Amino acid sequence: MSIFKELGLSEAIVSSLTELGYENPTPIQEISIPQILNSKDDLKAFAQTGTGKTAAFSLPIMEQLDLKSKDPQAIILSPTRELAIQIARNIEEFSKNISNLNVVAVYGGANIEDQIRGIKRGAQIIVGTPGRTVDLIKRKRLNLRNIQWLVLDEADEMLNMGFKDELDQILETTPNTKQTLLFSATFPKEVEAIAKNYMNNTVEISAGKKNIGAENVSHEYYLVSDRNRYPALKRIADINPDIYSIVFCRTRRETKDIADKLIADGYNADALHGDLSQAQRDMVMQKFRSKTLQILVATDVAARGLDVTDLTHVINYKLPDQPENYTHRSGRTGRAGKNGISVALITNREKGKLRPIEKKINKQFEQKQVPNGKEICEKQLYSLIDKVHDIDINEKEIKDYLPSIYQKLDGFDREELIKRFVSLEFNQFLSYYENSHDLNGDDSREKRRSTDEAFTRFYINLGKMDHINPAKLMGIINENLRKNDIEIGQIEILKSFSFFEIDKNFRDEVLEKFNGVEFGGRKIIVEVTNKPKTKGRSRSKRRNFEGGDRFRGNKERNGSGNRDRRSSGSGGDGKRRDSGRRQRR
């Protein structure tokens, strides 16, 4: 007998669950289902994100519905349209073997008339966001005066998003006889206040300790400077070839910026934020769920309700303002019994934010080192070899081509073929990371002060009007100094002139080597200057080598007129990718 059957669910629901692959209930389901089936007491349930809350409250409600009536009998409120859509979709799947059970999702960003028509046709369960639900109530298109169940899912997040007034308005239109079910991953004082004001004879259950992170999620942080935050993100992605991750940003603008950079650098990435239309959001989520996308860059609000169970990492590009939001973020990974990793990229000034989070999740962060180029190349190479080793050979499809292939490769022994195969796949990759610099540590203050006296600052009469950028200026310096081991500091390109810094020990040599040099038919003037650096610009020591790591972010036109797709900036940790062979899967 199915364990779900033993909890009191009907054969129709159990058969649907079996067809969907549900074998055993999660702890919150095992506690909640019989409680809701056998008691009319209000319920306050703690359950971490990803523990099966939707089934925990929807299955016992479905079991008790009067299917002869088409009037709303249950209202389920969620903080975002994504979560509302997901809940409604889950209920439809759970009820696939039940006739006449209808559910309608109501949320902003979609045609309200279509939602009104859905309610008119009859729906026993309404799933809605607070704003759209209030709108429908005011229009007198949604009547909740006879509902029997009110579910507040992700109650803490609804309050964090400022929906208290809407919740108050909705709750005031519901009957006192209803059963209120409050589910939340954390229980801040605002949630406790709702429970106190709107719930009676409350039973409290928990599938874990309140306000802590999931047990099977480990927490790591990388200490980097702000300018190296994005390069560090890419190295974390590169050291994990099979990464499947959400990257959390704090603002819509930052979300779009980071996603655009990742896409430009050849990663299978996209953004999810509030500026997208519903159709765009659905398209992004469809690609992410199908793993066409490996990296989804999102804001906290946009990521609520994502039903993805296989995430390997959650990456906090920047920490959230509230520790509770970190709990929600990290809860997106380590779901369905799998292990997950929650990563935070922080600077020195942000280290203090870790302590309240550690207290909240009852775990400590482990500091990790941003991987270097050698480590990344090794990991990527072995991952490729593993894929080659495990690939299924389709003899039927390739047999006609094999004779010609064997003929072309005749004369190469096994070792030579392996070397050529590896070189074909990795020459550009290895070349890029060959001179990659250390991204660990936030040197934005201490290191800058210590290096101020180590450089001489020069003026040069070349600028943007001469089509000069940092990479081109580096080439001019290399060509004239004929050295590849001189440390270079900050470069500033202005309209008609520029500034650059070089190890003070080479001051006289720079002046000597540039004497009488011409560029574009006119004489180059290089002078020592005491003009202060532009406020807010940071210095970073770099080795003076052709195509230096600092300047991999500059997309130079190559000989064919196409853009050289390397890193898009700061600290220059990009990867040149072949759009066909390198495409991430």
Q: Tens of pLDDT along 277-322?
A: 778 888 898 899 888 899 999 987 766 656 677 899 999 999 987 7
Q: Taking the domains of the chain in order of start, what are their residue ranges?
A: 3-206, 217-372, 374-433, 446-551
What string of DSSP letters covers 74-94?
A: EEEE-SSHHHHHHHHHHHHHH
Spatial neighbors of 505 by CB under 8 A, at least 6 apart, are none
**How many residues does the structure list for the chain?**
585
pLDDT at 125: 97
Q: Tens of pLDDT along 228-265?
A: 999 999 999 999 989 999 999 988 889 999 999 999 98
Alpha helix positions (H), 25-129? 27-38, 53-64, 81-94, 112-121
> Would the CATH topology of 3-206 be identical to that of 446-551?
no
pLDDT at 401: 86
pLDDT at 561: 38
Q: How many CB atoms lie within 10 A of CB 352?
A: 9
Number of H helices, E strands in the chain: 23, 21
What is the pTM for the complete model shown?
0.55
- Is the separation of the CB atoms in 402 and 184 below 8 Å? no
Positions in the chain short of pLDDT 70: 1-2, 49-50, 160, 208-215, 302-307, 336-337, 425, 427-429, 432, 443-453, 471, 483-488, 531-585
CATH number of 3-206: 3.40.50.300
Q: Residue 135 and residue 279: Cα distance in Å, rounded?
A: 22
Task: Label the pairing between strands 313-316 and 245-248.
Answer: parallel
pLDDT at 443: 61
Q: Tens of pLDDT along 517-539?
A: 888 888 999 999 876 555 444 33
Q: Residue 393 and residue 374: Cα distance in Å, rounded?
A: 31
CATH number of 217-372: 3.40.50.300
pLDDT at 279: 81
Q: Is 197 exposed, middle or buried (0-12, 13-18, 19+ CB in 10 A)?
A: exposed
- Is the separation of the CB atoms in 132 and 115 below 8 Å? yes
* Residue 365, helix vs strand vs coil: coil
pLDDT at 569: 39
Q: Residue 66 and residue 57: Cα distance in Å, rounded?
A: 17
pLDDT at 257: 92
Q: Residue 39 and residue 54: Cα distance in Å, rounded?
A: 19
Q: Which CATH superfamily is domain 446-551 in?
A: RRM (RNA recognition motif) domain (3.30.70.330)
